[in-house]
């Protein structure tokens, strides 16, 4: 997700903006205050927007993962691994049990040895 500095107009990935602190406590997670790497101005990262974007990304990745066949060629399996890695990363924030199950199921079907525990 990209952030824009209101002071100088600098645009970059949110991660490039230095983390200052969290603000407020919302059910969806707290908003964050970050700092513009160029001018040092304080920039808000609104979690609701970030989560909305992630939710969309999660749906799209799940769709992509769902259509990879069990006998997929190596290049598709590589893609599947990448998708699973991204989904796992996102789900660390969401903790959706059904998504965990779906990922685990697909890993077994595709023979990808990434099982946790």
Judged by CB under 5 A, the number of residues near Zn ion is 8
Residue 51, interface with Zn ion (CB under 5 A)?
no
6 vs 28, beta carbon nearer Zn ion: 6
Enter the DSSP assignment of 24: S
- Decide whether 38 or 81 has the Cβ nearer to Zn ion: 38
Rounded CA-CA distance 114/95 in Å is: 18
Contact pattern from residue 3 through residue 42 relative to Zn ion, giving x for each residue in contact according to CB under 5 A and a dash for the rest: --x-xx-x-------------------------x-xx-x-
DSSP annotation string for 62-85: HHHHHTS-TT--HHHHHHHHHHHH
Structure-token pair, residue 88 = 């796992």
The answer to whether 94 contacts Zn ion (rule: CB under 5 A) is no
């Amino acid at each position: 997700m990209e952030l824009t500095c209101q002071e100088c107009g600098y645009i970059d990935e949110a991660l490039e903006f230095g983390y200052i602190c969290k603000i407020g406590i919302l059910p969806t997670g707290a908003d964050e205050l970050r700092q513009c790497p160029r001018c040092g101005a304080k920039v808000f990262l609104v979690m609701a927007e970030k989560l909305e974007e992630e939710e969309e990304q999660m749906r799209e990745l799940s769709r992509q993962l769902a259509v990879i066949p069990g006998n997929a060629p190596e290049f598709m399996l590589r893609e599947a691994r990448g998708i699973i890695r991204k989904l796992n990363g996102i789900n660390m924030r969401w903790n959706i049990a059904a998504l965990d199950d779906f990922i685990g199921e697909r890993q077994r079907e595709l023979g990808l040895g990434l099982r946790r525990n």
